[in-house]
Amino acid sequence: MNQKTFIEVCSGAGGLSTGFIETGFKALLLNDNNKNCVETLKQNHNGIEVHGGSMEDINLDKYKNIDLLMGGVPCQSFSQAGKRKGIKDKRGKLILHFIEMVDKLNPNVFLIENVKGLLTLNKGETLKYVLGEFEKLNKYKITYEVLNANDYSVPQNRKRLIIVGVHNNINKEFKYPKKHKYKPILEDVLKDCPESEGQEYSKEKHDIMELVPEGGCWVNLPEELQKSYLKKSYYSGGGKRGIAKRLDMKKPSLTILCSPQQKQTERCHPKETRPLQLLESSRIQTFPDTYIFTGSLNQKYKQIGNAVPVNLAKAIAEEVMNVLN
């Protein structure tokens, strides 16, 4: 049986592609426009062509018979936390270029990974528009679903929207992966994790976080400290449970983000009073311990935080492989 081939655009640090490669796919081209991500891809995917720069500049002529075109086509425009400019944003337009690539390359399957905020952006109109543009190609059966990584052997609650198109020439339909029986917790990856580089707290922050028990957050602080630490947020209502948050060994992690210590989205180690280190964050994203991230400390955190967890990618890859076989 021929090895199934793919191209990935907007690859980031390579979580999605690593999962597909480990499932038996062959990468013909990986692409990203961030120089640190490009270097990370080169370090970990020896012998695979890596294109640094915009996906709009890729010469498609030599990739006509690929099985799969996929990518984490930019989601900043669609993030629930962002400004939600959607298609009007330059980054949003890259999704339209991806649709052109699908039309030109005619892959057997295409896959887009995005934030779940795309479902509700502009009351669902943005997703409807994107799907409508794909449907105009009149070639693909398109489905989408939000998957939580913790259901697929990832010790983290992280929800991602997965859109899959299967070519009309293929008479098999794509099925989203069945949830795994065991849902991993932080203890599975943090216990005995070797030391690695990482950010540190200021003395003031350290003293505050010392008062927060495992699994707790700002509500566990004395009231006066709550007021001084949260400032105006204290009076704004809402949950705010990510503020001064200490993780819990017996539960999955909250979503790993681009920095392990932002005031609104704290990710303090469950047992020690410090932010998660790089290897800990990488393990929570289910990268192999041997995976190399390049760039500054902050750039490495960012790459890990933006990645698709490798085990989630594997679960999806197995189902794509089922369709292609």
Give tens-digit pLDDT for 154-199.
Answer: 999 999 999 999 999 999 999 999 999 999 999 999 999 999 999 9
Q: Tell me how far CA of residue 267 lies from CA of 83, 106, 200, 256, 319, in angstroms.
A: 24, 42, 12, 8, 32
Residues 168 and 39 in one domain: yes
DSSP conformational letter for 120: T
Residues 250 and 170 in one domain: no
pLDDT at 65: 84
Instruction: Tell me how far apart the alpha carbons of residues 82 and 80 are, in angstroms, rounded to a whole number.
Output: 6
Structure confidence by residue, pLDDT tens digits, 83-132: 445 455 555 578 888 999 999 999 999 999 988 888 887 788 888 888 99
Q: Is 320 within 8 Å of 162 (Cβ atoms)?
A: no
Cβ count within 10 A of residue 315: 22
Q: Which amino acid is at 64?
A: K
Structure confidence by residue, pLDDT tens digits, 42-97: 999 999 999 999 999 999 988 888 999 999 986 445 444 444 454 555 555 788 88
pLDDT at 89: 56
Structure confidence by residue, pLDDT tens digits, 196-218: 999 999 999 999 999 999 999 99
Residues 177 and 193 in one domain: no
pLDDT at 264: 76
Residues 117 and 45 in one domain: yes
Residues 199 and 163 in one domain: no
Residues 287 and 138 in one domain: no
pLDDT at 246: 95
Residues 211 and 154 in one domain: no
Structure confidence by residue, pLDDT tens digits, 233-279: 777 766 677 788 999 999 999 999 988 887 778 899 999 999 999 99
Residues 35 and 54 in one domain: yes
Catalytic (active site) residue 75: yes
State the catalytic residue, choosing from 37, 75, 217, 268.
75
DSSP conformational letter for 275: B
CATH of the domain at 51: 3.40.50.150
Residues 164 and 36 in one domain: yes
Q: Quote the domain boundaries for residue 148.
A: 5-181+309-324
Residues 174 and 212 in one domain: no
How many domains, the chain?
2
Identify the CA nearest to 110 among candidates 34, 58, 170, 38. Answer: 170
Residues 19 and 129 in one domain: yes
